[in-house]
Amino acid sequence: MAHIIVVGNEKGGAGKSTVSMHVATALARLGHKVGVLDLDLRQKTFGRFVENRKATMARAGVDLATPEYHDLPEVDPAILKPGENPYDRRLSMAVAALEADRDFIIIDCPGSHTRLSQVAHSLADTLITPLNDSFVDFDLLAHIDPETNKVKGPSVYSEMVWNARQLRAKAGLKPIDWIVVRNRLGAQMMHNKKKMGDAVEDLSKRIGFRVAPGFNERVIFRELFPRGLTLLDLRDIGVVGQMNISNVAARQELRELMKALNLPGVEVKI
């Protein structure tokens, strides 16, 4: 049975696809069979990444460990049960097509609330929520008192995760391991960074998630996307000598993230 990793929140620009692409590629490079679904049915960023990767492999004559990407299948309305949501059936069919022979399935969610995203969260064994180091993004998880910076209560996304946890509990499934990944942790703005850190730690104890460091803002991520590559692939395509200090730091960030995820059967050697 595949371990399902859902990468989601309801705000765009937090780095969900960047995290998805790197975690999926890292797992594939570690020898695991990885399947990927992209629930942003219009943009399909992960699908484009895999297309770009295959084109790079053909052009460079190299074989890179690559996750298996699937589009959601179309569904004939005639096969739906009365009242059944077609998106529920499409997602369940896509997962079923992958889980028999995959070690991990990664589901990349859109930056908005959709039926597909809601259902995907209830399937998660591991939930990764990337969060920019800003109280604008933190508002997705909880409401803050502007005078004291104390957490007043959970916000809409946290409530959706709570509902997903309840559904899993009723179905007798193991609890979701929820990890909030703090992206774009800059060296500057130390006062804001500390306030954010305190708020995230406070909330983690109240609603039950772990905190992990993510990726800083780096040009290399944008530069590699058109070729479908990650920092882990540079040695294979012969450009390792061009790596600068920022690239090396980004590899270390990915290594620390993979360790923090603590995925079953994964020995981090990247």
Which residues, including other chains, have CB under 8 Å from residue 14's CB and lie 6 or more apart?
Answer: 111, 130, 131, 132, 137, 183
**How far, in Å, CA of 86 to CA of 90, rounded?**
6
101 pairs with which residues across the strands? none
**Is 104 in contact with 2 (CB distance < 8 Å)?**
yes
CB atoms within 10 A of CB 16: 26
Q: Which residues pair with 7 in a beta bridge?
A: 108, 128
Instruction: Please tell me the predicted confidence (pLDDT) of residue 174.
Output: 93
pLDDT digits (tens, 9 = 90+) for 248-260: 888 899 999 999 9
Provide the pLDDT for residue 187: 55
Q: What is the pLDDT of residue 188?
A: 53
> What per-residue confidence (pLDDT) applies to 152?
84
Q: Which of 261, 256, 235, 255 lies closest to 62, judged by CA? A: 235
pTM of the model: 0.93
- Spans in the chain with pLDDT lower than 70: 185-191, 239-243
Task: Return the DSSP state at 130.
Answer: E
Report the alpha-carbon distance of residue 123 to residue 107 in Å, rounded: 10
Residue from 207, 203, 243, 209 nearest 223 by CA: 243
CA distance 199 to 143: 10
Taking only the tens place, the pLDDT of each residue in 27-46 is 999 999 999 999 999 999 99
